[in-house]
Amino acid sequence: MEDEKKINWLSLFIKIVIAFAFILIIVWLVSKLINRNKLSDTFKNNINNMETVAVKYFKDIDLPTKQGESIKVTLGEMIEKELIVSVKTSEGGKCDTKDSYSKITRKKDNYEVETRLECGKEKNTITRKFSFNDCKNCTTDTKNNNTKNNDTKNNNTDGNNGTNNSNKSTGVTYYEYVKEWPTYTKWMKGNKTGDNIENKYEYYATAEKTYYSLGIINKKDIKDNTIEYRLKLNDVPNSKYYFTTIKESSYYNDEKEFASDKSISVVKDGSLNIDNIKEYSLKENNFTYKLTPYYYKGTFYINVKVNIKSLEGIKNIKDKYLVPIKITIKFNSGDIVTTKPEGSYDTITYYRYIQKNRDIIWSADNYVEGYTKTGNTKVQ
């Protein structure tokens, strides 16, 4: 009898372990199934934002007036119309722009807005009612009839309020909040403008001066119809504006200007006593030239490269010819500033693109830091 009453503790322990393991597996499977169907907060915000944007869009367009008819706008079309910023998952992935949509359908007493969003493994569809009063192209009779029908329904239910109201379940009121913020690309040089472009400007002072240069070339120094000489600028508008460019130049043959201009001179071989400059100067069809201005050790120069076409018919003085060129030089300051300088100046224009970001959340709180309440509510 004592043997029959003796408990097999090992067998009991094994059974308890097996039962406990079985319970753990069941709990794990159930939690996996629950989490599998649970939507992320980012997804919920995205689909609610889609619905809000779609409702505003449907208020501004003509809607179908026959019962059962519908109009659909895809997520891709919303992005193209700039109704919404591109929708992404919490991991930064993209959502399906073709199969994600908002559709409005004409019902008997109102419209119904159906919004579906597909982002990777997360998918969901939500619906909401859309009043005839928000319909842009609905006739006044339709809106009035809908109002009367609603009044009739309300009157019919007033007598049963004592019963029906007790059966209504009270929900939680959620408020829509929005946060908008910009992001920027790097600054780039250029003059572009637009709604999504921001500009900034920098300035540098400038000055100009025209010189009447009279170059002197020696026939024996001409090699392969080419010769070079150097001009020195004896007088400049501002010695600190040492970035120089040629604004314009031209052949010019006015003896008075060339004879009186002491602000420029030939660096070498620059002394000839000539009474008739025009007689000993190359003509416009005798040569071409290239000018290169530069600054060196506190002095401004212009290198002149002359290509001789012909010297036929041109008088010379001891095999020397004159090259008359009128030159306008632009002097630029090296100091770049953000405020406009006095006098003449040039502008450097920069631009960068602005990306507008928008985040919408729903909360039962009356205040969410960093967000603005839109005035839209829903009860759940």
**Can you give the pLDDT at residue 168?**
46
Residues 207, 68: Cα–Cα separation, whole Å: 75
In a shared domain, residues 73 and 137: yes
Kindly state whether residue 191 falls inside one of the protein's structural domains.
no
Domain end position, chosen among 85, 120, 152: 152
**Can you give the pLDDT at residue 314?**
87
Residues 361, 372: Cα–Cα separation, whole Å: 10
In a shared domain, residues 317 and 279: yes
Taking all residues of the chain, what is their mean pLDDT, rounded to a whole number? 84
Query: Does residue 360 contact residue 45 with C-beta atoms inside 8 Å?
Result: yes
- φ and ψ at 188, to 5 degrees? -130, 145
In a shared domain, residues 92 and 120: yes
In a shared domain, residues 57 and 32: no
Identify the weakest region by mean pLDDT among 92-96, 98-102, 118-122.
92-96
Opening angle at CA 133, ends 132 and 136, nearest 5 = 85
In a shared domain, residues 146 and 239: no
Is the pLDDT higher at 328 or at 25?
Answer: 328
Residues 16, 18: Cα–Cα separation, whole Å: 5
Query: Does residue 253 contact residue 278 with C-beta atoms inside 8 Å?
Result: yes
Kindly state whether residue 213 falls inside one of the protein's structural domains.
yes
| Percentage of the chain modeled with pLDDT above 70 | 84
Residue type, 232: K
In a shared domain, residues 6 and 67: no
**Can you give the pLDDT at residue 304?**
95
Kindly state whether residue 80 falls inside one of the protein's structural domains.
yes
Instruction: Indicate whether this model's pTM tops 0.85.
Output: no
Give the contacts of 109 (CB within 8 A, at least 6 positions apart): 146, 149, 150
Residue 40 — very low, low, confident or very high, per pLDDT cuts 50/70/90? Answer: confident
In a shared domain, residues 13 and 103: no
Residue type, 301: Y
Opening angle at CA 226, ends 224 and 229, nearest 5 = 145
Residue 111 — very low, low, confident or very high, per pLDDT cuts 50/70/90? Answer: very high
Residue 170, CA distances (Å) to 128, 150, 165, 173, 380 in order: 18, 21, 10, 9, 9
3-state SS class at 19 = helix
- The residue-averaged pLDDT of 242-267 equals 82
| Percentage of the chain modeled with pLDDT above 90 | 39
Residue 257 — very low, low, confident or very high, per pLDDT cuts 50/70/90? Answer: confident
Kindly state whether residue 171 falls inside one of the protein's structural domains.
no
Residue 308 has pLDDT above 50, yes or no: yes
Q: How many domains does the chain have?
A: 3
In a shared domain, residues 33 and 87: no
Query: Does residue 67 contact residue 108 with C-beta atoms inside 8 Å?
Result: yes
Residue 69, CA distances (Å) to 64, 98, 167, 178, 345 in order: 6, 20, 34, 32, 64
In a shared domain, residues 114 and 27: no
CB burial string 314-343: b at 16+ within 10 A, e below:
eeeeeebbbbbbbbebbbbbeeeeeeeeee
Domain end position, chosen among 332, 348, 365: 332
Kindly state whether residue 257 falls inside one of the protein's structural domains.
yes
Kindly state whether residue 323 falls inside one of the protein's structural domains.
yes
* pLDDT tens for each residue of 171-223: 788 899 999 989 999 999 999 998 889 999 999 999 999 999 888 888 899 99
3-state SS class at 101 = strand
Which among 263, 268, 281 is positioned nearest to 323, based on CA atoms?
A: 281
Domain end position, chosen among 332, 357, 372: 332
Residues 214, 141: Cα–Cα separation, whole Å: 91
3-state SS class at 68 = coil
In a shared domain, residues 61 and 21: no
Burial class (CB within 10 angstroms; exposed 0-12, middle 13-18, buried 19+) of 312: exposed
Kindly state whether residue 19 falls inside one of the protein's structural domains.
yes
In a shared domain, residues 113 and 143: yes
Residue 162 has pLDDT above 60, yes or no: no
Give 103-138 as a DSSP string. EEEE-SSSEEEEEEEEETTEEEEEEEEE-GGG-SS-
Task: Name 88's bridge partners.
Answer: 94
Alpha helical stretches, state H, the chain: 2-5, 9-37, 41-59, 75-80, 140-158, 161-167, 255-260
* pLDDT tens for each residue of 341-356: 999 999 999 999 998 8
What is the span of the domain harbouring residue 68?
41-152
In a shared domain, residues 309 and 211: yes
Residue with tokens 């919004």: 115
Kindly state whether residue 188 falls inside one of the protein's structural domains.
no
Token duo for residue 189:
């040089």
- Detail the DSSP E strand segments found in 234-371: 243-251, 264-266, 287-296, 299-308, 320-332, 345-363
